[in-house]
Homo-oligomer: A and B are copies of this chain.
Amino acid sequence: MRSSIIDVAEKAGVSIATVSRVLNGSDKVKAKTREKILAVINEMKYAPNPAARGLIMKKTEAIGLLLPDLHGEFFSEVIRGADEVVQQHGYHIIVSSSHNDPKEIEAALRFMRGRVDAIVLMSPQVNAEILLENLPKSLPIVLLNCRTDNKHFDTIVIDGYGGAREMTNYLLDLGHRRIAVITGGETNLESEERLRGYRAAMSERNVAPSRLLEFQGNFTEISGYETAREILKLKNHPTAIFAFNDSMAIGAIKAIREEGLRIPSDISICGFDDIPVARYISPSLTSVHVPISDLGAMAVNRVFDRLTKRSKDSTAHVFVPTKLCLRSSCKKINTISNLDKEEHVA
């Protein structure tokens, strides 16, 4: 049986209003009274009921964070970045994963409604705009890598186009021409942006981008593995594989190894995201650096900007640049032997 503010008031010989006042530190209460009440609170181990408080205050001190998945280091870093900022404000995080399923997104959103003061939503695959319409307009929402042109929401999006373009250019500079990509889900915004960047770079350098070199994964390690196996079955396999995230690159590396090929001497491979372990895998993975934990931190910071009315009405739209991060999984192509091979094929 939990004790309520009434019990405290009785025991301290004051009214509940006074107790409430010392609880909220706001109004002026005589020092002696305050001490007395504090003592009683301590003694009874009283803690205010958040539901009752939330009911009247319409504040929860929690932020909802809805991610597409919880596998791997990427999302863990986003959570970490978000949690760090949130903790500075005395807030907390409610996480959920949607598995890119509209039903699950809806369920999570419904759950969060009324339970959080703001929502950070990452949904690159499922267009969640319709689902967001049921939420009260007063609830700040930050969209992370979501497909939207709705100016009503704050948005943060990674420059997938630029990053992929730069990476593709780098591979072209190394002499690669048959560059395969492993994409993410079909309707996935991140994947589409990266694909756009890849195709742009290929075209610009007059290497006709072939659909036959575009293989569909789904951003999971296992899909990287399986797709790479497909790719290696081609009789004249590509000289480089560009996986659209590091997890798939890691899966691909496994497949390549199993095929007895060496990286990067037989085939080059690179990823996207630059998750922390990228530098430690073998060989260290060339990737497109994304400030992952900053993503979470930025989103939450934006939330608090809104919450503190500093920027109540105006929405912000942040475009996060990426940076090439060169390691040892890609290598200049051996032009001679490559020409050799090409002749064989021709």
Name the B residues within 8 Å of A187 (CB-CB): none
CA of A94 to CA of B87, assembled, Å: 13
* A283 contacts the other chain (CB 8 A): yes
27 pairs, A vs B, C-beta closer than 8 Å: A48-B114, A50-B54, A51-B51, A52-B55, A61-B111, A62-B115, A70-B79, A70-B80, A71-B80, A72-B276, A76-B76, A80-B97, A83-B97, A87-B96, A87-B104, A92-B111, A92-B112, A94-B95, A95-B95, A221-B276, A250-B277, A253-B280, A254-B279, A277-B277, A277-B280, A280-B282, A281-B282
Copies in the complex: 2
Bound state CA distance, A97 and B75, in angstroms?
Answer: 15
Q: In the complex, are the beta carbons of B61 and A51 less than 8 A apart?
A: no
A2 touches B136 (CB 8 A): yes
Say if the beta carbon of A203 comes within 8 Å of chain B: no
A45 close to chain B: CB less than 8 A: yes
Question: Across the interface, do A115 and B50 meet the contact criterion of CB distance under 8 Å?
Answer: yes
Contacts of A55 in B (CB 8 A): 49, 51-52, 55
Cβ distance A101 to chain B, nearest Cβ, rounded Å: 11
Q: How far is the CA of A50 from the CA of B96 in the complex (A)?
A: 17
A: interface residue count bin: 35 or more
Q: How far is the CB of A269 from chain B (nearest CB, A)?
A: 12
Is A113 in contact with chain B by the CB < 8 A criterion? yes
Distance in Å: Cβ of A71 to nearest Cβ of chain B: 6
Q: How far is the CB of A63 from the nearest CB of chain B, in Å?
A: 10
Let me know if A38 is at the binding interface, CB within 8 A: no
A335 interface hit (Cβ, 8 Å): no
**Interchain CA distance A228-B133 in the complex, whole Å:** 54
Point out the residues of chain B lying under 8 angstroms from A72, CB to CB: 73, 76, 276
A283, B282: Cβ atoms closer than 8 Å: yes
Chain B contacts for A114, CB-based, 8 A: 47-51
Tell me, yes or no, whether A134 is within 8 Å of chain B by CB: yes
Contact: B134 with A47, CB < 8 Å?
Answer: yes
- A108 contacts B by Cβ under 8 Å: yes
Check if A110 is an interface residue, CB within 8 A of chain B: yes
Q: Shortest beta-carbon distance, A252 to chain B, in Å?
A: 11
Is B70 touching A83 in the complex (CB atoms < 8 A)? Answer: yes
- Report the minimum CB–CB distance from A255 to chain B (whole Å): 12
Q: A45-B134, A90-B107 are in contact. List 8 more A-B contacts (CB 8 A).
A: A47-B114, A47-B134, A50-B115, A62-B115, A73-B73, A75-B76, A92-B108, A95-B95
- The complex places the Cα of A253 from the Cα of B112 at a distance, in Å, of 43
A93 at interface (Cβ–Cβ under 8 A)? yes
Q: Are B92 and A93 in contact (CB under 8 A)?
A: no
Give the interface centre of A75, A104, A279, A282 by most chain B CB atoms within 10 Å.
A282
Whether the pair B80, A79 counts as a contact (CB closer than 8 A) is no
What is the CA–CA distance of A110 and B94 in the complex, to the nearest angstrom? 16
Q: Across chains A and B, which 4 residue pairs bring their CB atoms closest together, nearest first? A: A282-B282, A76-B76, A51-B54, A70-B80
Instruction: Give bound CA distance, A47 to B109, whole Å.
Output: 11
**B residues near A104, Cβ cutoff 8 Å:** 87
Q: How far is the CB of A334 from chain B (nearest CB, A)?
A: 23
Shortest distance between the CB of A193 and any CB in chain B (Å): 25
Residues of B within 8 A of A87 (CB): 96-97, 104
Q: Are A83 and B111 in contact (CB under 8 A)?
A: no
